[in-house]
Structure 1
């Protein structure tokens, strides 16, 4: 009887001790990332039959289980990986938005300042100060293009570095998961459930998910298979594959991920579009949606500015009467990064236009002559629709432009002024008069009209409002670029806010189930302490009874 009572009390003592130890483990790991609350599962021991029925034999500890919720765990991991992607995207999108859209860093101000300086030259083409200011503001504009291009390339280089760092981190987590897989498989093979090892492995999978989108499948032996991207196996059982950062064959200036092939030195490229979440997914999305288009648009803006301005500048004449030369230069591989001002002397600014010429055709039958051309203030040179042809027939002069469009028809009167397209001119009879079929031409082949001419400067200034990039002006194109990036940045900020809220809600729900509540553990500890004390008291009583029995037998 004594030993039976003693064993029952001892089993209660051991069960209480197991419970106390488990509660202490929970309390100790209350702030451990990824820790899942544990509890002792106990049951009554197999009873023994006596003449009066079955008598209990005490209590046994069946196992220590994790309070684990698969749905909440997966949901929390999913929101976490989406949040990591949104944060990585938002950080860089905000940086690009500030660069291109900032009043002190973007293109709007220097672009406006440059064209204002060009207009000043048009207002006073003989002013060396105005001409030098135009060159100075052009240099400032080119420098701003260069700086923005350098900054965007620096961001690209920084992302490449981050991709390499993430690859190293992925490999580290993969190795640790593989090692834990082996330990867990051994433990479960011997019938044990290694709760703390399972927590550690889940936490590693969660950390991996912060870097890249992950899927995992539980295996029957207790191991877990981990895949990344669109299903590339990273860890399967105790086998692990590593990833490496490699140059993108489609764009060698950027880095992507590839996976090592077992028993080979070759690698298999992981399609960047399959990496949709985690920090890496955020970086790839930002690079594709914001960074690369911004670099391309900045290059397009610089090239279009240079090409349009050079073309017009070369059509004019400088202060010395020399034909205009290229104003800007750039490299085709990086127009924004290499944009530069070619001319340095104020006299080289080609503000003057080629003169307008009017002449009678050599094959005319009559000897009528055409006088000097007068242009209205709204007409710029060179004449856009020249050459104009004035044809006489049956008392009427018909005027057609370079596209053969009739732009004027006049009853002929010798010496009378005819006005069309802002051009005024008169034809005057000679001694032989004018004959049917006689023609006269007005074109842009006139001589340089002097340093005070501002015709080409007006055309250069007018480029600010001309559609030189498709249907957009330079300013409109820049505004669209800035606006698009601002939209991406704002959307990214919204995503961060939304996923932060979703993650926190899911995490709180998970913690309410699997997390450690110190107040609850304190109550359990008091209950277990009381159970322990009661079991110890029962042992004491059993010992006293056993001693009494022994004493009676002596």
Structure 2
């Protein structure tokens, strides 16, 4: 090849190098951008006695480390999981800690009214105060139960939103996979498409933990931690939600792939896994504790009333009505119950307070309450609040730790794939000098050719 053509190949290659450098600099602030590098190769000689035939740009390489990228995916999943847990536990802690929801405070007020009646158990004012405090306590149970039910609705809304987002991301990743596969087959530069795909996988990782496998043709296969496929070849999975047969308030996840349905548990990580863990490990047990407290209290109080006598000498009748299947939400006062119906007497004498004292003892009696074991009624609620508070503090700590891991993963990936302005400045100067030098080669070749031509004139 002539000197001029060799110089021209150098100019073209240097121009490509400057273009790649300019692209890197232009995208220094683009989220998820991986810097690119022009890969040069010498064009060898075609015959004996030739030095070579210049230079060519063999490819434009995307600078990335798949291990670091996978670490970022995992860190993103931890962020999605821990942030969701911390948020849900904080909300529950705030709910249980509110004065209007404090059952221990409600019990204290109720039994304080009972103690006030011990000096004159026949007094109408004291009896009315007892019934009033009983209504207030029942209302606390209702408000607390209703608020916990509201959290079930909120969980279902969050699940539905996350499922829709995950399905959309999977479809878009599948489309990018196909574009990258075609581009790779045609020798096109697919760096931008691969960057976009990594950004989408990072977003998907916040919702569910993702395992990534290189298929070898430029595409990536995705699966859940337990191996259930999300994306393989041109087949893409879709998440779904169905009503939980064991709890109509809740929804359960399912995964459909290539005509098959897979059961999904809380081991999928990310936001969806955290929502499932929160429901089964925190919200449901908390609801059971509240219902147990309501059931044990109302049953014990009604049973003790039946042991006494009212102002008319009749055997006591129940003060509270409730549905045993859902006691906290249904606890209320019998609308036909009168103040004189309170069976505070132990022997039928109107001024006797024998049964009243036994009713007061219920406050210090211990009951078997859910997963908390044997507790007093007020103590069980305080233990529940303390248990949730401990879990909330731990969740906040886990979230902070996950944030640090995510920052570290981002920094490590950026150290490999990120754009360094100093490095790009050096590259630009290098390519510019090479460009000018090759122009000088072309100029020299032109002068030499002109000198040769003058010999014939």
Q: Same fold (TM over 0.5)?
A: yes
Checking the alignment, whether the CA contact within 8 Å between 2:33 and 2:418 is kept in structure 1 is: yes
Q: Of the candidates 394, 409, 414, which is equivalent to residue 511 of structure 1?
A: 414
2:346 paired with 1:346: no
Give 3-state SS (helix, strand or coil) of 1:484's partner: helix
Structure 2: distance between partners of 1:319 and 1:239: 77
Separation in 2, partners of 1:81, 1:45: 47
CA RMSD of aligned residues (A): 2.0
Give the aligned partner of residue 449 of structure 1: 349
Contact kept, 8 Å, 1:329 with 1:342, in 2: the verdict is yes
Q: Which residue of 2 aligns with 1:468?
A: 367
Mapping of 1:228-377 within 5 angstroms? 228=224, 230-260=226-256, 262-263=258-259, 268-275=261-268, 277-342=269-334, 345-353=338-346, 355=347
Task: Give me the whole-angstrom Cα distance separating, in 2, the residues matched to 1:337 and 1:269.
Answer: 35
1:38 corresponding residue in structure 2: 36
Q: CA deviation at 1:29?
A: 2.2
Distance 1:328 1:553, change over 3 A: farther
Q: Deviations over 1:128-171 (max 9, x none)?
A: 22222222222121111111111111111111111112211111
Q: Relative contact order (C-alpha < 8 Å, sep 6+): which is higher?
A: 2
Name the counterpart of 1:366: none
Aligned to 1:147: 143
**Higher gyration radius (CA):** 1
Q: Which runs of 5+ in 2 are unaligned?
A: none
* Alpha-carbon shift at residue 82 of structure 1 (Å): 1.4
SS across alignment from 1:57: coil
Give unpaired runs (5+ residues) of structure 1: 356-447
**Contact 2:100/2:140 (8 A) holds in 1:** no
Give the structure-2-normalised TM-score. 0.93
Higher relative strand content: 1
The answer (yes or no) to whether the contact 1:49–1:55 under 8 Å persists in 2 is: no
Which residue does 2:393 correspond to in 1? 490
CA shift for structure 1 position 324:
1.8
Q: Residue deviations 1:91-121, cap 9 Å, x none?
A: 0011111212334432221121111111111
Q: 1:456 to 1:162 in 2, by over 3 A?
A: same
Of 22, 25, 28 in structure 2, the residue corresponding to residue 27 of structure 1 is 25
Give me the whole-angstrom Cα distance separating, in 1, the residues matched to 2:456 and 2:151.
92
1:157 maps to 2:60: no
1:468 aligns to what SS in structure 2? strand
Residue 436 of structure 2 corresponds to: 533
Partners of 1:495 and 1:49 in 2: CA distance: 67
Please say if residues 469 and 477 of structure 1, whose CA atoms lie closer than 8 Å, have aligned partners that are also in contact.
no
Aligned length: 452
Distance 1:137 1:57 in 2: 98
Taking the aligned partners of 1:544 and 1:188, their CA distance within structure 2 comes to: 43
Post-superposition offset of 1:183 = 1.5
Q: Please state whether the residue corresponding to 1:326 is helix, strand or coil.
A: coil
The equivalent of 1:129 in structure 2 is 125
Q: Does 1:101 align with 2:97?
A: yes
Q: How far, CA to CA, are the matches of 2:12 and 2:119 in structure 1?
A: 100
Which whole-Å deviations, capped at 9, do the CAs of 1:396-422 have from their partners, x for residues lacking one?
A: xxxxxxxxxxxxxxxxxxxxxxxxxxx
1:49 Cα shift? Answer: 5.5
User: Match of 1:137, SS?
Assistant: helix
More displaced stretch, 528-537 vs 498-507 = 528-537
Cα deviation for residue 323 of structure 1 reads 2.4
Are 2:235 and 2:257, in contact at CA under 8 Å, matched by a contact in 1?
Answer: no
Q: CA deviation at 1:477?
A: 1.4
* SS state at 1:352 partner: coil
CA–CA separation in structure 2 for the residues paired with 1:28 and 1:310: 77
- Following the alignment from structure 1 to structure 2, what is the Cα–Cα distance between the partners of residues 283 and 468? 31
Change (3 A) 1:122 1:552: farther
Q: Separation in 2 of the partners of 1:480 and 1:331?
A: 25
The 8 Å contact of residues 229 and 270 in structure 1, kept in 2 or not, is answered as no
1:84 deviation in Å? 0.9
Match of 1:15 among 10, 13, 16: 13
3-state DSSP of counterpart to 1:61: strand
Moved more, 72-81 or 278-287: 72-81
Of residues 29-38 and 530-539 in structure 1, the stretch that sits farther from structure 2 once superposed is 530-539
Number of the residue aligned with 1:210: 206
